[in-house]
Structure 1
Amino acid sequence: MKQKQAHKPYRSLVALNKTGSTTRVLNLAMVARTYGTTPEHSAQPFFRSLLLNRGIVLKHRLRADDAPLLSGRAGTATKVIIPFDPKNLGAGGASFLVGEKGWLDLVEELSDSDENFARDRSLLECLDGLPSFDPFLLREHLRRAGFRPADCYFAISANDRERMRRFVEVEIGKLIDLAYQGQRISDGSSGKLVEILLASDTDDRLEPLRLTLRLEGEAYREGIFSWKGFLYYKWVLADLMVTLKQVVVELGQLEISDSVNAEIRTFVAKSRARLQRTIQRRVRDVGLTLQTYDEAFARLTGAGDAVAFREFLLASPAMFLELGERVGMISHIASFWRYRFPPGTPLRAGADDILDLLQDFETGLAQPTLYLAA
């Protein structure tokens, strides 16, 4: 494994120790420190390997020096960091990329049995297939793949869960009326159905919904999962918009604090302007993709056109993955920028830090345009 020492403040393991999990970082070391003494943490671990289960998993933007490790792969990879001392992340750690040559040998070395090795390998491959680590979708994706780590591993606050539940309840109220036509669901509340929908896609109480959508078996499960993903991303984007608008403005105000030549100043100015335009374009791209959902859903609830929404659900898994990549990146930009520059602090940093930050943002946003339904 490659040795990783803590270095630049916002790149270091110490910084990860402060921020915890994000859309791009799954900080199991922090979870272990916070919940390590609880029964659920030991009864339902994320990884079976003790070392992996106190590590840090992150979505890593591949750079030129990564090319020999993952031949022919571009974009994002999944990196695993094993801290030398989970209580002192400043000591650095060792790392590997999922899929690099010899990575399975490393995972096997970290495992204490063939069964645990097979399980942790499958889980790492499952994580590698996700566009980001949005906690709600991470939990759903793992559950569908047969992995059920304890709730403490998913950093969704009780407040966020309640806010999302209220958002979804408003969003699908018309569908509930259409599917259930006045039937009582347990206590008769639409909120109860939303809780059932968010918790499961196989509950018998969802049968009227399945019949309304005219889907069967795996197509129904895949469609419901992707639908929940669209609802989640729609909620996330609405929640992000105020911060994103502030970030776009503040990008234009970012200043270099040390002495540099005119060439670097010109490059930073152009990069800031490009990022401002690209963030706005990506938000519009996400909005257009979400609009395909809105239009199909409106045809279902307004005109009773179940076929249009069924076709959307059948096509949604591919759209969902690309949407996740886009929303995950702009969410990362918003949260990381606000961490790096809290409200009221000077928008100034050293040239090296600024260049690294701008490059990371530009690389993440430089992806193909989203799939749009015809």
Structure 2
Amino acid sequence: MSGMRKSNNVDRTVRDLALLERSASTARVLNLLSVSALYRNETDYIERPFFTSPRLNESLILKHRIRSDEVGVLPKDRVTGTKVILPFERTDLKIGGRSFMVEQKGWRDVVDDICGAYRNPERDIHVLQSLSELPSLDPFLVREQMRRRGVDISTFYFNISEADIAQMYSFVGKQIEVLLDVSHRNRVDGSSWSNRIIRMLLSPVQGESIQPIRSALRLDPDDFEEGVFAWKGFLYYQWVLSDLRPQLAPFLREILTMKVSGFRDREMERMLDAARRRLADRVNVVLEEVVGAIRVYEAAFNDLTRNGKPLAFSNFMKRTPEMFVLLGERIGALSHVASYWRFRFPQGVVEKVPTDELLEIVRDFEYSLGGEG
């Protein structure tokens, strides 16, 4: 297939496909293969697919860090790209698959070939370009991006990965238990009942057991579905932020103090010092924006649980999915900055970096965070 990269001797990501599907984070991988396995017979899945091409609709899409042997694959200098992986056999991922990068040379021809004569390659190209614009693939950001781009997609596609659900479980449990306490203060089997509802809330499909939450929020069934999605979004972003914040202080300390090597003149030194200071300021501004948005949610939640105002909280939940654009883009950019830095400079490793390389990294980070770049 034109433009495809063979997995057996080139693409390590594709070679580790089975591991990727099991352990990948929600923000890094959009696992359409697992969505297909769960919902392929559902009417909404069939009528509102992510892609019109059946092959693309059973792919894995990931935000991929560009390796040294891939430099030049994309038209611009980037440290990350959007990779599409097409498994050779969806029932046995160990045998790998083929991949292409969105915006690599000839990628539109690849999509056209995959879609075939009776599909809609332009629509699928539009979806891929929309994903490529995003800093991460978390479902709340992706859903709002598709809404902005006028793409109608089934809600089955916007779920948190099993790997992240396992890690989120204890983090979000306290908030959910507080709300359950508001709705059923005299429940006897509290612990096991709470655990079942926590698991159900974080999973793709909710059941009847979650109805006490709907009662507490005083929402009709249609509004409740949207409200639960919004609530999961804020829980997800709270969890991601709690993991991200401890990484930012050492990152800033290191990038501000790292020594440089190689030829440099005063002008380059001045540019690097100014770029480092701008980056540090930008990181703090973006972090404050994220914290501020989450505080608005926390205030509304406290209004419900402490002051008994369910309508205020439920109205907030119905109004706020658009906040996911800000949260998803900002948290995605901060995660990219912190994770790429730690990938390039493992903790505890002290080294001098060529001036031009450090300047390039700092400028890329600035650009990712919406600064000068």
The letter of the residue matching 1:228 is K
Tell me if the contact between 2:108 and 2:125 (Cα under 8 Å) persists in the aligned partners. Answer: yes
Tell me if the contact between 1:51 and 1:82 (Cα under 8 Å) persists in the aligned partners. Answer: no
- Aligned partner of 1:203 in structure 2 is 207
- Aligned partner of 1:49 in structure 2 is 55
The letter of the residue matching 1:234 is Q
- Aligned partner of 1:254 in structure 2 is 258
Q: Deviations over 1:114-170 (max 9, x none)?
A: 36969966964784686622379879999x825569x9xx8753xx53331111111
Query: How many angstroms does 1:261 deviate by?
Result: 1.6
Match of 2:320, SS?
A: helix
Distance 2:304 2:256 in 1: 43
Tell me if the contact between 1:130 and 1:321 (Cα under 8 Å) persists in the aligned partners. Answer: no
- Aligned partner of 2:71 in structure 1 is none
Q: Deviations over 1:289-335 (max 9, x none)?
A: 11111111111001111122112101210112211111111111111
Q: Percent identity?
A: 30
**Structure 1 residue corresponding to 2:303, chosen from 299, 302, 307:** 299
- Aligned partner of 2:184 in structure 1 is 180
- Aligned partner of 1:145 in structure 2 is 154
Query: How many angstroms does 1:97 deviate by?
Result: 4.1
Query: How many angstroms does 1:189 deviate by?
Result: 2.9
Q: Deviations over 1:38-75 (max 9, x none)?
A: xx79x999984379947755699xxxx77xxxxxxxxx
Distance 1:138 1:195 in 2: 23
1:365 corresponds to 2:369: yes
Q: Structure 1 residues 59, 140: closer, same or farther in 2, change over 3 A?
A: farther
Q: Structure 1 residues 48, 179: closer, same or farther in 2, change over 3 A?
A: same
Match of 1:114, SS?
A: coil
1:114 corresponds to 2:118: yes
1:349 corresponds to 2:360: no
Match of 1:133, SS?
A: coil
Distance 2:243 2:323 in 1: 21
- Larger mean CA deviation between 164-173 and 199-208 belongs to 199-208
Q: Structure 1 residues 93, 313: closer, same or farther in 2, change over 3 A?
A: closer
Match of 2:257, SS?
A: coil
1:313 corresponds to 2:317: yes
Distance 2:14 2:270 in 1: 31
Distance 1:189 1:289 in 2: 31
- Aligned partner of 1:214 in structure 2 is 218
Q: Structure 1 residues 237, 94: closer, same or farther in 2, change over 3 A?
A: closer
What is the RMSD of the two structures over their aligned residues, measured on CA atoms?
5.0
Tell me if the contact between 2:83 and 2:99 (Cα under 8 Å) persists in the aligned partners. Answer: no
- Aligned partner of 2:269 in structure 1 is 265
Which consecutive unaligned segments of at least 5 residues does structure 1 have? Answer: 6-11, 67-76, 368-374
Tell me if the contact between 2:227 and 2:318 (Cα under 8 Å) persists in the aligned partners. Answer: yes
Query: How many angstroms does 1:24 deviate by?
Result: 6.7
Tell me if the contact between 1:23 and 1:328 (Cα under 8 Å) persists in the aligned partners. Answer: no
Tell me if the contact between 1:169 and 1:194 (Cα under 8 Å) persists in the aligned partners. Answer: yes
- TM (normalized to structure 1)? 0.68
Number of residues of Structure 1 aligned to a counterpart in Structure 2: 328
Distance 2:277 2:204 in 1: 44
**Structure 1 residue corresponding to 2:171, chosen from 167, 171, 184:** 167
Tell me if the contact between 1:49 and 1:120 (Cα under 8 Å) persists in the aligned partners. Answer: no
